[in-house]
Structure 1
Amino acid sequence: MSHEEDIQRFDQDHPWPHDDGVTSLFKFSSVNRDKISRLEQLFCEGKLYHSTPDQFNDPFECKPHFNWPKDPKKVAEIRKYLTQILRRNGISWKEAKRLVANSMRRPGFIHESIYTSAEHSFNRARICSFTTSNKNLLFWAHYANSHKGFCVEYDAKILPISYSFKVKYVDEYPEIEYPAPDDKRALSPALMKSTAWSYEEEYRSIFIPGAERQAKHDGSSLILNGSEMKNIYFGAKMTDDDKALIEDLVNKGPFTAKLWESNLSRTSFEIEFSPYKPVIS
Structure 2
Amino acid sequence: MDDLPEWQKLMLNALAAGKFEDAVEFKKPYLPKKLYKYREITLATLDNIVENRLWASTPASFNDPYDSGVGIIKNSLHRQDTYWTNWLEEKSIGQYIADEDLKSIFDSSNRLEALERHIRLKYPIAPPIIYDLINMRHQIEKIVLDLNRRCKESINVCSFSAVNDSFLLWAHYANDHKGICVEYDLPNYQPHDMDGRRLFPVIYSSELFDASDFEQSKYLPLIASIYKHSDWSYEQEWRYIDIINPLSPGRYFYLNKCSAIYFGSRTTLDQIDTTFRLTKIAHNVMSYRMINDNTKFGLSAKSTSELGIL
TM-score above 0.5: yes
Q: Deviations over 1:189-235 (max 9, x none)?
A: 11111112222211111113327xxxxxx96344226x442211111
Match of 1:22 among 22, 32, 57: 32
Residue 87 of structure 2 corresponds to residue 52 of structure 1: no
Residue in structure 2 matched with residue 238 of structure 1 by the alignment: 267
Q: Which residue of 1 aligns with 2:152?
A: 123
1:257/1:206 CA distance change after superposition, 3 Å = same
Match of 1:31 in 2: 41
Please provide the CA RMSD for this pair: 3.6
Q: Does 1:208 align with 2:243?
A: yes
* Separation (CA, whole Å) in 1 of partners of 2:40 and 2:223: 29
Cα distance in 2 between the residues matched to 1:256 and 1:44: 11
Q: What TM-score does the superposition give when structure 1 sets the normalisation length? A: 0.69
Identity of aligned residues (%): 24
Aligned to 1:79: none
The 8 Å contact of residues 53 and 127 in structure 1, kept in 2 or not, is answered as yes
- Greater share of helix residues, 1 or 2? 2
Q: Write the letter of the residue equivalent to 1:123.
A: K
Report how far residue 251 of structure 1 moved. 3.5
Q: Contact 1:44 / 1:249 at 8 angstroms: preserved in 2?
A: yes
Q: Judge conservation of contact 1:118–1:176 (CA < 8 Å) in 2.
A: no
CA drift of 1:107 comes to 5.7
Could you list the runs of 5+ residues in structure 1 that have no partner in the other structure? 76-105, 212-217
Alignment of 1:1-281 (within 5 A): 6-7=13-14, 18-20=28-30, 22-32=32-42, 36-40=43-47, 42-66=48-72, 67=74, 68-69=76-77, 70-71=79-80, 111-124=140-153, 125-157=155-187, 158=189, 159=193, 160-161=195-196, 163-177=198-212, 179-183=215-219, 185-210=220-245, 220-224=250-254, 227-253=256-282, 255-277=283-305, 279=309
Alpha-carbon deviation of 1:149?
Answer: 0.7
Using the size of structure 2 for normalisation, the TM-score is 0.63
CA drift of 1:141 comes to 1.8
Query: Is the CA contact 1:47–1:223 (under 8 Å) kept in the aligned structure 2?
Result: yes
Q: Distance in 2 between matches of 1:180 and 1:39?
A: 42
Count of paired positions: 235
Structure showing greater Rg: 2
| Per-residue deviation, 1:148 | 0.6
Matched letter for residue 271 of structure 1 = L
